[in-house]
Amino acid sequence: MSANVLSVEVSVFKQFYALTKPRVIQLIVFCALIGMVLAVPGLPTWAELELALVACLGIWLVAGAAAAFNCIVEKGIDAKMKRTAWRPTARGELADWQTLLFSAVLCAAGSALLYFWVNPLTMWLTFATFIGYAVVYTVILKPLTPQNIVIGGASGAMPPVLGWAAMAGNVGPEAMILFLIIFLWTPPHFWALALYRVEDYRKSGLPMLPVTHGSEFTRLMVLLYTFILFAACLMPYIYGMSSWLYLMAAVVLNFGFCLYAFYLWRDYSDLLARKTFRFSLIHLSLLFAALLLDHYLL
């Protein structure tokens, strides 16, 4: 009996954990961590390391709360899409009240950590990000306009700003440059996914760009955004945040992203769209890793 109870508890834990969208949260916390690192000149002190750890935990909790709330709002849509049909809310494995309570607890815990152990500015910025993603993007923008991911991308671009605010107690121009990079990265990243998942989005009724404007127009937008993103990714070097190490990485990574987008525009295939989407994840991860290395090595 005890073994069965333990098995059920583990299963329920996995269901709640899945609501937080762990892979997405990992990237969010990583980008926030980069903002924290860049906000501290040189090697951090032990106190700064402790502060960064608490800030990462608080941001993770609030981001997880936003993801869980998103699962409630979109459970009907998720059930129609292969990519999301496995989610516990879409399968009816968790009741709405359970998910809502879980989201509220995570948000309250994360906000308390940030307010009392980090600083109020970080808490309010993180809470505003929660509202931006869970309410403005999910409830209002996503079902209303094909530009949902462009406008709503502002909340997804906030992690480095949150990280910077946690360590510096303010939002400097460096943080806004990092914000701009993620803001411009989000549309080509997400539209590459939407291109090969277009039938899922069509069934769901969401006005995603490939559904409303077609594949060719979406591919052109992906290509144009990668060009603009290329320019934005040079700004850390131009502003003096980084040196030649980051610049080299930014040029190579953005050239690769533009190349993928160009081939996607010229000769579309679902396989190429999938590869472009995967490369976009590698692009952002390595770009921010290059900022981290540049900060400490040069």
For the chain, domain boundaries: 15-170, 172-298
Indicate whether 3 pLDDT > 70: no
Predicted confidence (pLDDT) at residue 2 exceeds the cutoff of 80: no
pLDDT higher than 80, residue 10: no
What is the C-alpha separation between 233 and 253, in angstroms, rounded? 10
> CA 288 to CA 292: how far, in whole Å?
6
- Do the beta carbons of residue 72 and residue 103 sit within 8 Å? yes
Q: How does pLDDT run across 208-250, given as a tens digit for each residue? A: 999 999 999 999 999 999 999 999 999 999 999 999 999 999 9
Average confidence (pLDDT) over 180-209: 92
Confidence of residue 47 (pLDDT cuts 50, 70, 90): very high
Specify the pLDDT at position 8: 45
Give the CATH class of 15-170. mainly alpha
Place of tokens 């770009």: 287
Comparing 47-61, 90-104, 221-235, 270-284, which segment has the lowest mean pLDDT?
90-104
Q: What is the DSSP string of 238-280?
A: HHTS--HHHHHHHHHHHHHHHHHHHHHHHS--HHHHHHHHHHH
**136-178 pLDDT tens trace:** 888 888 888 888 888 878 888 999 999 999 999 999 999 999 9
User: Stretch 40-66: mean pLDDT, rounded?
Assistant: 94
Per the model's pLDDT, the better-predicted residue between 109 and 87 turns out to be 109
Measure the CA angle with vertex 198, ends 192 and 199; round to 5°: 155
